[in-house]
Structure 1
Amino acid sequence: MKPIKKAIVAVAGSGTRLLPATKAMPKEMLPIVDKPIIQLVVEELVAAGIEDIILVTKWDKKPLEDHFDHNWALGDELKKAGKEELWDQVKKISEMANFIYVRQKGPYGNGTPVLSAANLVDDEPFVFVWGDDLVKSKISFSKQMVDDYAKHGQMMIGVQEVLPEDVVRYGIVKLKEGTMEIEDIIEKPTIKEAPSRYADFGRMILNPDIVEVLKKTALGKGNELWIVDAIRAYVKSGGKFLAKKVEDGEWLTTGDPMNYLKAILTYAMEREDIKDELEKFMKEII
C-alpha cells in the first residue's frame, strides 16, 4: 500500500457569505488571530506527513499563492529592524511543503477540484480537504486519518456529531449498524429523517477508485458536481467507505460570520499570550 504524501486542497470558492470581507481577499486568507485559515489547514496536513500540497484555485486567489512564496523584501526589512526571529518564522511558511497550484476547470461543485488535480496524484491515495474547514485537535486530524488508512486501506470522510436541530444544515451519514461504515449520506434531512447526528465535513482520504466514479457522476443539486454524490454512488455499487470521527478535538467551519468568529475565539483562548486579557475583555463587554 502506497503511503499518503499528497493532498488536494479546494480553495476556489468565492466566500459570498463573508462579503464584503471577501470582495478582494480570498476567504481562506482571513485571519484566525495571526494566521490565515489556509495556513492552519496546511500545518495540519504537514503534521500528517504530507509533502505535496496541490491547491486548486481560481483567478482571484493570488494572495493565497503569495502567502506560501518567499518575500525577500519583507525579509530585508525585518532583518534591518533586528527582527530576525520573526523573519525565520515567516520564512518557514514557504518551506513547509511543495506547493502546486492548479486552476479549477469544469462545473461548479466541490467534486471538481478532485478532477482538476487528478493527473497530479496518479494512482496514489490522497487527502482531500476544503480550505476553509478547520479541525482543532491534539493530534492532526489528517494524521489520524492517514494513520487509519495505513491500517485498513479504506477511503473515509470526517464526521462530527452535531446538535439535533443542526442536522438540517449538513450532510448526515447513515452508518451500517454497529460500524463506522457508510451506508448512505442524506443531505440536509429534517430531524425526523436524519439517520444519525454525524455531519460530514471537508476532510477525506480518497483514492483513484473514487476519481473514476466522480468522472461518471452526473451534476446534482444546483447543477454542480458534488463529491458526496460520488461517494454515495461508490457505496451503492458495493464499495466500502468509512466515517472517521475527530479524536480529542473538533471541526470548526469558517464559512459564515458566526462560525468564523467562533473559530477565532476557540484558537485565541488557547493562546497563552492573549487568553487572559481576552477573557477579561469578554467579561467586560457581555
Structure 2
Amino acid sequence: MRVKKAVFPVAGLGTRFLPATKSTPKEMLPLIDKPLVQYVVEEAVASGIEQILFVTGRGKRAIEDHFDISFELESLLYEKGKDQELHQVRKIAEMANIFFVRQKEALGLGHAILCAKEFIGDEPFAVLLGDDIIDAQQPCLSQLLETYESYRSPVLALEQVPIETISSYGCVRANHLANRAFEVLDLVEKPPVAEAPSDLAIIGRYILTPGIFPILENQEPGKGGEIQLTDAIKTLSREESIYGCRFDGIRHDCGDKLGFLKATVDMALKRDEFNGEFLAFLRKRLGC
C-alpha cells in the first residue's frame, strides 16, 4: 500500500514558549513569514501525502483557520489586485485534504496517535512532528518513504547527535544496511548517556503500520505518566521488523527557543531578499 495519510499531533501546550503561546499555538509561531506547521505540511505534500489529520486540543483553532479558505481575505486581495498574495493564501487551503480530531486528554504522543485510529483504518501512515523543521533537498519524509518501499515495515527518522545530548531523545541500537537504511534492533526512550545504545536519535518523522493501534490501546503509561510512542514501537518490533532512515538534511529543533532562533537565521540567509542586508547586519553585530 502506498502511504497517502499523515498524522500531525499538535495538542501540546508549548509551555517552553510562554508567554507567546498563552493564546497562540506553538505550531503557529512564524518562522520568517510562514507558521512552523506550514513548513511541515508542505514537506508532507511534497512527499506525496494526500490526506492529513491534525490531532488538536483546546486553543488550537488558529491551526484550523490557517488551513481553511478565508473568503474575506481572498476577496480583499482580489479587489486590490494583489495576485501574488492571493495565490499564496489560496494555495494553503488547497495543498491537501485536511481533517481534525480532538485529543481530549494530554496523555502523550502515543495517545495522540491512537486518536487517529479511525482516520487511518488499515493503511500504513506517516507521523510528522511540527517541532522539527528539516531543510533538505529531498524532503525528509520522502527519504523515509523510499526506505519503506524497500522493506515494507515501519521506518523511523534517525539523526546522529552529540552523545552528551542523547538523553533528550529516544534512540536506537541498529545495524547499518545500505545507504540511509538501518535495521533497528532496540529502542530506548531518553536514556542516561552512560546507558545509551548509540548516538542515533529518533527524530519527529515516522512511517507506521496499523499494527501500532492495538498496542497503544493496551499500553500502560510510561515516563511522565504518558503513553510513549517509542515504547509502543518497541513492542511492535516483536511482531514486525523496524527500520531507520538516517536522513540527509539539516534539522532545526524549533521546540526549543535557541533552536528556533537558529532556524530563523539559517532560513533567512537562504532567502535572496535577506541574504545581503541581513548578512551584513549579522556581521556588523558580530564584529566580523
Question: Which TM-score applies when normalising by structure 1?
Answer: 0.94
Counterpart of 1:251 in structure 2 is: 251
Give the superposition deviation at 1:65: 0.5
Give the superposition deviation at 1:101: 0.5
Distance 2:115 2:188 in 1: 26
Residue identity opposite 2:98 in structure 1: F
Structure 2 stretches of 5 or more lacking a match? Answer: none
Instruction: Determine helix, strand or coil for the equivalent of 1:127.
Output: strand
CA shift digits 1:49-89 (9 cap, x unpaired): 11100000012101111000111111122222221121111
Tell me if structure 2 keeps the 8 A contact 1:105–1:116. Answer: no
Distance 1:82 1:70 in 2: 18
Of residues 132-141 and 13-22 in structure 1, the stretch that sits farther from structure 2 once superposed is 132-141
Distance 1:251 1:244 in 2: 14
Aligned residues between the structures = 283
1:206 maps to 2:205: no
Give the superposition deviation at 1:201: 1.4
Matches within 5 A, 1:236-247: 237-247=238-248
Tell me if structure 1 keeps the 8 A contact 2:144–2:247. Answer: no
Residue identity opposite 2:261 in structure 1: L
Residue 194 to residue 131, structure 1, CA distance change in 2 (3 Å): same
Equivalent residue in structure 2 for 1:187, among 163, 179, 189: 189
Distance 1:221 1:188 in 2: 9
Give the superposition deviation at 1:270: 0.9
Tell me if structure 1 keeps the 8 A contact 2:11–2:106. Answer: no
Distance 2:128 2:172 in 1: 18
Counterpart of 1:266 in structure 2 is: 266
CA shift digits 1:1-38 (9 cap, x unpaired): x1111001100000000101111100000011101011
1:127 maps to 2:145: no
Instruction: Determine helix, strand or coil for the equivalent of 2:65.
Output: helix
CA RMSD of aligned residues (A): 1.5
Identity of aligned residues (%): 39
Of residues 200-209 and 175-184 in structure 1, the stretch that sits farther from structure 2 once superposed is 175-184
Tell me if structure 2 keeps the 8 A contact 1:172–1:188. Answer: yes
Structure 1 stretches of 5 or more lacking a match? Answer: none
Of residues 185-194 and 131-140 in structure 1, the stretch that sits farther from structure 2 once superposed is 185-194
Equivalent residue in structure 2 for 1:233, among 228, 232, 235: 235
Give the superposition deviation at 1:283: 1.2
Distance 2:176 2:32 in 1: 41
Tell me if structure 2 keeps the 8 A contact 1:186–1:194. Answer: yes
Counterpart of 1:23 in structure 2 is: 22
Give the superposition deviation at 1:113: 1.6
CA shift digits 1:146-181 (9 cap, x unpaired): 222122201011110111221122222111476711
Residue identity opposite 1:242 in structure 2: Y
Residue 36 to residue 177, structure 1, CA distance change in 2 (3 Å): closer
Residue identity opposite 2:255 in structure 1: G
CA shift digits 1:222-265 (9 cap, x unpaired): 11011001011222x25311111112x12222112111111112
Counterpart of 1:69 in structure 2 is: 68
Equivalent residue in structure 1 for 2:223, among 221, 224, 231: 221
Residue 15 to residue 175, structure 1, CA distance change in 2 (3 Å): same
Tell me if structure 2 keeps the 8 A contact 1:133–1:251. Answer: yes
Distance 2:204 2:43 in 1: 13
Counterpart of 1:175 in structure 2 is: 174
Counterpart of 1:141 in structure 2 is: 140
Distance 1:239 1:215 in 2: 18
Distance 2:115 2:104 in 1: 6
Tell me if structure 2 keeps the 8 A contact 1:51–1:97. Answer: yes
Counterpart of 1:197 in structure 2 is: 199
CA shift digits 1:116-136 (9 cap, x unpaired): 111111100000111222111
Question: Which TM-score applies when normalising by structure 2?
Answer: 0.94
